[in-house]
Structure 1
Amino acid sequence: MSYDQPRVYSTSVFAPTEVSEDSRVQTEELLREFILEFRIDSTFVYRDMLRENILVKQYTLSVDMGHMISYKEELAHRLANEPAEILPLFENAVKSVARGILFPGSDELEDFPECQVTLTSNANPLSIRDINASHISKLVRVPGIVIGASTLSSKATVLHLMCRACHSVKKIAVAGGFAGVQMPRVCEAEAVPGEDKNCPMDPYVIVHEKCTFIDQQVLKLQEAPDMVPVGELPRHIVLSCDRYLTNRVIPGSRCTVMGVYSIYQNKTVSRSTGSGAVAIRNPYVRVVGLQVDSDHNYKGGMRFSDEEEEEFLAMSRLPNLYDMFSSSIAPSIYGNADIKKAVACLLMGGSKKILPDGMRLRGDINVLLLGDPGTAKSQFLKFVEKVSPIAVYTSGKGSSAAGLTASVQRDHTTREFYLEGGAMVLADGGVVCIDEFDKMRDEDRVAIHEAMEQQTISIAKAGITTILNSRTSVLAAANPIFGRYDDMKTPGENIDFQTTILSRFDMIFIVKDDHNESRDRTIARHVMNIQMNKVSAEQTIVGEIPIEKMRRYITYCKQKCAPVLSPEAAEKLSSHFVGIRKQVHQAEQDANERSTIPITVRQLEAVIRIAESLAKLRLSPIATEEHVDEAMRLFFASTMDAVGQGAGSRKELVEEVNKIETELKQRLPIGWSTSYQTLVREFVTGKGYSQNALQKALMVLERRDTIQFRHQRSNVYRSGV
């Protein structure tokens, strides 16, 4: 038959998958030699590791791909490109070596447990969105966040079949992952001489009691938020773990997965979409290695060279590091020095503590920016999202309680419930930036109470009861209840938050847009320079420390340093706290009202965390009295200022406004017309009242008077404005 006939022919363009038995034996022997002979200095790494594991009944061996490359590069290359062929041989080799260690001189492998090989590597990871069809059946290394984990199921590795008619037995091996098995349609047993073999179609039944099973778990891995391009949805992929790789991670864990990129057919989808979907396969990763990132192991394991460590140590000894670091935070924003220093403390964080009774004290610092529109609050949040090693940015109105904490989803195929972590879970070990915090619904805001103090999220939904980690700092921005801060009202009347949420913030800054002519000119000049002279503006805007260097320095400080208070600093801080409590109590008695922002033991812990973060910035293991003094100054400039917010000056302002209001009513008869400048000359220049008080009095007069009176007087204080 020639190929020029009018017919359709097909041929394989891939290399033949069949491997000769001799080649398999040689490969298995090479793998046995690698396990037995590979050593670093005088230590046989894998021989000793395997002996330790099997003595504690753990039949597993973790192999570093770098070691295999240095031992035999060709073998490592085959393992990376043909893992489905090489891994079973590798596990047989491990089983053979383990048998030799336990029972020397015996070659019987029948009754010995199966051994599992797990792989680790330091190769560059591959993003989920970069995996394509060219990676099928090859080893891939993928970083991400686990957003869903199923319960354990049992998967058969060897099926024990028995014919219904002749009771003959057949064993079938089942591949790993989501791979299924095709049951024989006819009985394959040989006929007994002298008897008729009359077995029906589909004769085999599964004898479950004699099958071999392993544990299997299905995970859902999603791209980390910092790896998702702007405007794109995060991609996710399904993982299949078995044996010793199960129950290693929970939703919210950041990990790097090494596995075989495989495909399977979704039977539910193929039935619903018809015969056209027969050739469609869904991808998944059959996990052969799982590296779970620790608390401070940001971005899949950030490593530092010796030169970089020396540079960071030299930087930590700079006398002006604190001012230099804070001025490098959002350098394009004019002023706000204390807010920038507070953000620097938030990025560093304090020290986590586990008490002898098991209680955990958080080390993360929460900051609330509350103030008028146009005071660059959102820009601070955007900058922190950019500079923090792990950060999630969200807006209050677009965030629900489930989106911030965790939601319960149902799998479309298995119909099982599983958890998907929200913003607070995905930002574990980093910062959550919540803009428009005041626009959130109360029931959604209450959902983060536990996460902000206890650093956990408790879930009890749809029969799922669990606790997720949420070790994250919160940087929130909000507006006052009237849109702008009203000096005539108390902080409690301006702040539309419950005491329960306010007490969880370590620092609360009230940012007011004060009218100051010289300051307004400076800000206007600063903004004009940014808008007009782009090249020179960039040179002036860029801080003294570049963003990437700042991010790596933050990570380095968090990895290497966990300061504690010195006895002198602790004594000084405790006496300060007693004085603050007495001062607040006295102020509450004088004003005859309770403070909206309470000063409790939480605030004492907040000052401790701020002092520890200042020590961590300098890589100091001890937080000294100097750090406590600066922490107290920051606390007084933020929370204590918000508690008082000039109670005495507010009282004076109210009295001044009342006097001006009385004089205005006497000064301006109904129907009289005068200009605003005349009133300024008379009341501000002549009588010494403040211009702010005059404006407030005119506004109060307009609000309180009748419509007819206001209409007749309107030209009085509006003319010339």
Structure 2
Amino acid sequence: MAGFDEGRVYYQDYGEVFDGYGEPGVITRGQARQFFEDLLRRKTKDLFQINQEDRNRGLDATIGEGITGDQLKVDAADILSYNAELAKYVLENPTESLPLLEEVANNLRKKQTHNQEDEDDEGAELPELQVLLYSSRRFGPQSIRELTSEHVSRLVRIPGIVTAASKPKHKATHMTIICSKCKNTKVLTCKPGLGGAQFPRYCDANAEAELGAENCGQDPFVVLPHKSRFSDLQTLKLQERPEDVPTGELPRNILMTVDRSMVGTIAPGTRITAVAIYSTVQGGGDKKRDTRDAVAIQVPYLRVVGIEEEAEGAHSTPIFTAQEEAEFREYASRPNVIDLIQKRIAPQIFGAERIKEAVACLLFGGSRKQLPDGTWRRGDINVLLLGDPSTAKSQFLKFASKTAPIAVYTSGKGSSAAGLTATVIRDSHGEFYLEGGAMVLADNGVVCIDEFDKMRPEDRVAIHEAMEQQTISIAKAGITTMLKSRTSVLAAANPPSGRYDDLKSAGENIELQTTILSRFDLIFIVKDERNADRDRDIAKHVLEVHRAATQRREVAEEEAREEAFFKRYLEFCRARVAPRLSEPAADSLISQYVELREQARAAARENESDTPVVPITVRQLEAVVRISESYARMQLQPTVTEAHVRRALDLFTVSTMDAVKSGVTEAVAFTEEQRAELHAVEAQIRRRIAIGSTVSERKLKDELVRVGMSEMLIGRCLHYLQQQGDVELVRGRRMIHRIR
């Protein structure tokens, strides 16, 4: 990645040259120092006091609100609102002002701790204090896309997702160099961030020499590492949040550097808001041109001075007013709140009430639990929609991706295992680093995967761990690590033949591995039924949606308000409630689970199979628990009742259990027209195959297609005859043998 190329930062620290700028309204360094000291004294009164017990142990940990160990967290909003001149100084000259703030904080701590020391106590040596900025309010550009040349060298606050992290490095802050000839030593101060220090070309120890180069020669200096001072440095890659990327655009990313106590604290996939100095490093340009011109081409990066991790399940820490909270609790107290929520799911889609209910359960989710042994049980619900085209499967995915607080939409054909999970990439320096994929970026959110059946089997296998254990394990290029992927998966797929065939078994219609199917909590078979009345209702609804696209502004604004209310209510429920099963609900669930297992075995025997295509295992028992918890969460109830369990079992029965029982059964009903077509095909097949003889399936189909029959209808009829025991498929299902 080009962003990880490191070089030198070119800037001049004018604060060391003169004090102040000589412009009206700009404060001097002395004034800034006084402002900072006054501000810290007000905001951090007695925060530098160290307990005697801690000092005896040589510790400097948690010594007050806002300060922990060798960190002092300062709200940038306090600085910006303290004084207009100070705000301008900090925003426009952070390279000078922030080291000054850190210096003042260290001096204050030393004064207060020295006053606290006893006469006979020399006190413990305190580590250097690092001031970390965060901001409780927005300022400057709001995304990577809005950063321009005007913001170079200014303080900015940028949200995003960390998609890659390099190995920590050791950056020299002060380098001691020695002349290899005369042993003269010098101490060089290195610039912060990716900046370095300029080595002198000649030794100036012999001041009497005209050039100082006659005795020592050119470039005589070497570094003394044991006498130099270093600090930890790490480079991160920050990418735009998916919801901030305009349609049709690629997400933008930028290099970030963190140092000292911030190193190693952020893993790929973490959503953060970084307060940083927008800096530049030499690079880019056309390599064919003279390299002397390349100094004008600068690549931007962020030198981070403070990081905030965002809360789980939301873009940022959700804050709700008292009025909002009262409104949400009143809404949750309604007896039909679950039905009201169901109606808010994809209102432009006709019917499909149970699928809408399942999508609502997926959005609200169950409760994530940590077991005594330290392992976790997922609370996220996975849903698979499988069936005919043009049944609004993709529309459900689009709705979920726009409604969920965090969501990533992808298509199966255009997704690889690395793109969905994570990959290890080598940078230009030969170092390996991790880059998270869709399921890492959607941590605490929803991943919508369209065309799930078009994915390569090896790519589908890659998400097994992410769907159940909610982790992604990486062991490549010497990197062994684990990333979090606490996401719900909403997937849409078509049967192998393109349409769902009632005359085929469940195994032939659902051509997905049992291992992946068992990880879906709810599986819906979506069929495009031929019914004149239903077709008329759908046509009316679709035309009404198109007509309403040009509706009055008042109606559109009302719908926008309802949509915003639902999103906020969803965030409120996820943030405030984590329901748990009650004892009666758990008891009723045990007996129901045993009955579901027996039904699955009976369905397998009916389809002449040893095991059902969609297995009913303990995972499905946990799925019903999660669905029950999501119903309780919709009602803001901390306890799952028997009513929630009954509703969850009902939804599970009409989805996954129907998929288990799907296939050719005696209950399959055909219209008169379909029966007539089947009888005609059956007569042609019996005429061409004598009892006891065997013919090629491909040859038989080609002959019947030539006389005007549909290949799909031929396949249905062969399957029907096979179920009746009249024919059987032999030799790898390539030949048809007639039995009677």
> What range is the shorter-chain TM-score in?
0.7 to 0.9
Tell me the amino acid that sits aligned with residue 387 of structure 2: G
Looking at structure 1, the residues matched to 684 and 560 of structure 2 have their Cα atoms a distance apart, in angstroms, of 50
Tell me the amino acid that sits aligned with residue 97 of structure 2: I
Contact 2:268 2:483 in 1 (8 A): yes
Tell me the amino acid that sits aligned with residue 39 of structure 2: F
Contact 1:458 1:467 in 2 (8 A): yes
Tell me the CA shift for residue 309 of structure 1: 1.6
Cα offsets for 1:627-672 (capped at 9, x unmatched):
111101100010001111276xx2254xx88xxxxxxxxxxxxxxx
Contact 2:152 2:278 in 1 (8 A): yes
Closer, same or farther: CA 260–570 of 1 in aligned 2, 3 Å: same
Cα offsets for 1:315-344 (capped at 9, x unmatched):
111222211111111111100000000000
Cα offsets for 1:124-163 (capped at 9, x unmatched):
2620010011111111011111111011110000011222
Tell me the CA shift for residue 190 of structure 1: 6.2
Closer, same or farther: CA 460–315 of 1 in aligned 2, 3 Å: same
Provide the residue aligned with 2:501 in structure 1: 486
Tell me the CA shift for residue 544 of structure 1: 9.9
Closer, same or farther: CA 274–564 of 1 in aligned 2, 3 Å: same
Cα offsets for 1:40-65 (capped at 9, x unmatched):
xxxx2754599999723932211112
Deviates more, 1:170-179 or 1:342-351: 170-179
Provide the residue aligned with 1:684 in structure 2: none
Looking at structure 2, the residues matched to 127 and 619 of structure 1 have their Cα atoms a distance apart, in angstroms, of 34
Provide the residue aligned with 2:258 in structure 1: 241
Provide the residue aligned with 1:614 in structure 2: 631
Provide the residue aligned with 1:672 in structure 2: none
Q: Is 2:243 aligned against 1:261?
A: no
* Alignment counterpart, residue 201 of structure 1, candidates 214, 218, 223: 218
* Alignment counterpart, residue 66 of structure 1, candidates 65, 68, 77: 77
* Alignment counterpart, residue 455 of structure 1, candidates 454, 470, 495: 470
Looking at structure 2, the residues matched to 708 and 264 of structure 1 have their Cα atoms a distance apart, in angstroms, of 72
Provide the residue aligned with 2:39 in structure 1: 34
Tell me the CA shift for residue 255 of structure 1: 0.6
Tell me the CA shift for residue 73 of structure 1: 4.2
Provide the residue aligned with 2:389 in structure 1: 373
Looking at structure 1, the residues matched to 489 and 154 of structure 2 have their Cα atoms a distance apart, in angstroms, of 41
Closer, same or farther: CA 630–703 of 1 in aligned 2, 3 Å: farther
Tell me the amino acid that sits aligned with residue 169 of structure 1: T
* Alignment counterpart, residue 598 of structure 1, candidates 609, 615, 619: 615
Q: Give SS of 1:301's match.
A: coil
Closer, same or farther: CA 359–243 of 1 in aligned 2, 3 Å: same
Tell me the CA shift for residue 409 of structure 1: 1.4
* Alignment counterpart, residue 306 of structure 1, candidates 314, 317, 322: 322
Alignment of 1:625-644 (within 5 A): 625-644=642-661
Q: Is 2:662 aligned against 1:645?
A: yes
Contact 1:161 1:205 in 2 (8 A): yes
Cα offsets for 1:349-389 (capped at 9, x unmatched):
00000000112100000000001011011111111111111
* Alignment counterpart, residue 517 of structure 1, candidates 522, 526, 532: 532
Structure 1 residues without counterparts, runs of 5 or longer: 1-11, 658-688
Cα offsets for 1:456-478 (capped at 9, x unmatched):
01111122111110000000000
Alignment of 1:34-433 (within 5 A): 34-38=39-43, 44=45, 46-47=47-48, 55-56=60-61, 58-104=69-115, 113-124=127-138, 126-189=142-205, 191=207, 198-266=215-283, 274-296=291-313, 298-412=314-428, 414-433=429-448
Aligned pair count? 660
Q: Give SS of 1:103's match.
A: helix
Cα offsets for 1:648-701 (capped at 9, x unmatched):
xx2254xx88xxxxxxxxxxxxxxxxxxxxxxxxxxxxxxx7444344444555
Closer, same or farther: CA 700–100 of 1 in aligned 2, 3 Å: farther
Tell me the amino acid that sits aligned with residue 675 of structure 2: A
Tell me the CA shift for residue 258 of structure 1: 0.6
Q: Give SS of 1:409's match.
A: strand
Closer, same or farther: CA 174–544 of 1 in aligned 2, 3 Å: closer
Closer, same or farther: CA 590–166 of 1 in aligned 2, 3 Å: closer
Q: Is 2:592 aligned against 1:572?
A: no
Tell me the amino acid that sits aligned with residue 238 of structure 1: L
Contact 1:143 1:300 in 2 (8 A): no
Deviates more, 1:535-544 or 1:515-524: 535-544
What fraction of aligned residue pairs are identical, expressed as a percent? 47
Tell me the CA shift for residue 200 of structure 1: 2.5
Tell me the amino acid that sits aligned with residue 607 of structure 1: V
Cα offsets for 1:199-220 (capped at 9, x unmatched):
3233322111100000000000
Q: Give SS of 2:197's match.
A: coil
Q: Give SS of 1:515's match.
A: coil
Closer, same or farther: CA 127–652 of 1 in aligned 2, 3 Å: closer
Alignment of 1:418-567 (within 5 A): 418-532=433-547, 534-536=549-551, 546-567=562-583
The Cα RMSD (Å) is 3.2
Closer, same or farther: CA 693–563 of 1 in aligned 2, 3 Å: farther
Tell me the CA shift for residue 275 of structure 1: 2.8
TM-score where L is the length of structure 1? 0.85
Cα offsets for 1:209-263 (capped at 9, x unmatched):
1000000000000001110001111110000110011111111111111110011
